[in-house]
Every structure is written in C-alpha cells, then in structure tokens.
Amino acid sequence: MSDETGSANTSVTVPGTGTAIELGDLKASIAAELAAELCGPEDIRKRYGLTKGQWDTMRTNPMFRGMVRDALQTFRGPLAAGQRITKKAEIALEDALPELYLMAKDTSTPVASRIDAIQTLADLAGRSAKAVPNAAPAQQGFTLNIQFGNDQKVTIDGKANDPE
C-alpha cells in the first residue's frame, strides 16, 4: 500500500482481512455506504484502509462518481422508507459482523452471550433451520359441508380408508 500522500498503487488491504483488494473491487460497496449516509466519508475511507491519495483517486474516477450517483438515486428515489431502512440495516449489520465474530470467539464473554452470537451468525448464514418435530401423519381426504337455505345440511366425508 502507498503512503498517506498516495502513489499509483490501487491495491488496498482492508483492515481485519489481511487481503489486498483492488480499488475497483470496492467501488460498489463504498458507493452504497456513502449514499446510505450511515457515517461520514472520512470514516468510510479509514474503514476500508484507503490512503488519502487512494481516496482522492477513487473520488475523482468517473465510474465511481456514477456509482455514487446511482446509489444516491436508489436511496433517495423510488425506494419506500421500509426498503431504505432495510438496505441501511444490512450495511450496518455487515459492519457489525467482525465484532459479533470476536464476541463469539472471546472466552471472557459470558457463555450465554457467546451462544447468542453464534446463533445469530448461524441465522445470518441461513444455517439455523430447526428440525420439525415428528408430527402425526396428515390424513388424506376431505369433508364437504353444504348448507341449504331451508336449514338442510349435507355432509360428504371423503377421508381415505385405512388399508389395514
């Protein structure tokens, strides 16, 4: 990575990942975060581990500016309030994942809280399907009730017979 003055290097190591990523791969998520206005641009720059030079290079990139413009239209445009809240919550949730993971792994965290953190991670990963208790098998068939105007009633019982 380059120094704070910024060089031609466009590779970024996102804090906490140890993985180098090209600026181009980060543009959409950064544009969405800027448009959501959950935190300021400087906080976003720091969270993504961008130097001031890299940030300035990306901010002036026409493609990135278009992405921010599109994201702003999405957040301020046709989305209903509920949809905007959902999108913003998803962004905030993604930012909280590292803390949730650390809580789950921290042995000084109370066990109940660790279990809750692990369950939450499982829920987010779609891995928390609960086993359906063994229920009695559903009976096949139907019952049809016909009510006539003169208080006459006809019931047709169409339940399947037991093949015993």
Residue 162, in any domain of the structure: no
The domain boundary, picked from 43, 78, 113, lies at: 78
Range of the domain at 20: 1-78
- Least reliable range by pLDDT among 18-27, 101-110, 117-126, 152-161: 18-27
pTM: 0.48
Same-domain pairing of 67 and 100: no
pLDDT mean over 102-119: 92
Is the predicted pLDDT of residue 145 greater than 70, yes or no?
yes
Cβ contact 121:104 at 8 Å: yes
Q: Residue type for 114, please?
A: R
Is the predicted pLDDT of residue 109 greater than 80, yes or no?
yes
Is the predicted pLDDT of residue 164 greater than 60, yes or no?
no
pLDDT mean over 125-147: 69
Is the predicted pLDDT of residue 6 greater than 80, yes or no?
no
pLDDT band for position 134 (cuts 50, 70, 90): low
Q: Which residues contact 79 (CB under 8 A, 6 or more apart)?
A: 87
Same-domain pairing of 38 and 111: no
Give me the number of domains the chain comprises. 2
Same-domain pairing of 126 and 69: no
The residue behind tokens 């792994």 is 105
Average pLDDT, the chain: 77
Cβ contact 48:26 at 8 Å: yes
Of 35, 31, 29, 40, nearest to 65 (Cα)? 31
Torsion on CA atoms 92, 12, 126, 33, rounded to nearest 10: 30
Q: Which residue has the higher pLDDT, 120 or 79?
A: 120
Do the bridges between strand 153-157 and strand 143-147 make them parallel or antiparallel, or are there none, so unpaired?
antiparallel
The domain boundary, picked from 24, 58, 78, lies at: 78
d(CA 154, CA 64): 71
Please report the pLDDT score of residue 31 as a whole number: 87
The domain boundary, picked from 26, 60, 78, lies at: 78
Same-domain pairing of 21 and 68: yes
Q: Say what percent of the chain tops pLDDT 90.
A: 12
Q: How distant, in Å, are the alpha carbons of 139, 141, 150 from that of 157?
A: 12, 8, 22
Sort 14 into a burial class: Cβ within 10 Å, 0-12 / 13-18 / 19+.
middle
Is the predicted pLDDT of residue 124 greater than 50, yes or no?
yes
Please report the pLDDT score of residue 72 as a whole number: 87
